[in-house]
Amino acid sequence: MNDLADGLRQRIASGRLRVSDHAQGRLDERGMLLSDILASVPSWSVIETYEGNRMGLSLLVKHELQAGPVHAVWGMIDQDAVHAVLVTVYLPDKEKWDEQFTIRRKV
């Protein structure tokens, strides 16, 4: 497992997390509960790692919820950040992802 995923999970497990306004809006739009996302953090699948973007270090992960798979971007400004940040959540598009929603289809 990678250090970034471990660091994010530790922060989330200890309650050191924030939800961006954007992510909260997406949760609300889709009728998803933050508690469901948080409950699935221990079993998430890391899809992609992003370094050096405007949100700092971040991961695109797949959460398996009762209603189906959800993609989320979790990040932190740097390795010393106090909080993990839920940047966004979305329902993966079947046209853009493979059957497991972990590999982008070539367009």
State pLDDT tens for residues 10-52.
999 999 999 999 999 999 999 999 999 999 999 999 999 988 7
Per-residue pLDDT band at 107 (split at 50, 70, 90): confident
DSSP 78: S
The answer to whether the predicted template modeling score (pTM) of the entire model surpasses 0.75 is yes
**pLDDT bucket at 53, cuts 50 / 70 / 90:** low
Q: What is the mean pLDDT of residues 74-82?
A: 86
* Residue-averaged pLDDT of the chain: 92
CB within 8 Å of 85: residues ≥ 6 apart? 17, 18, 19, 20, 55, 74, 75, 76
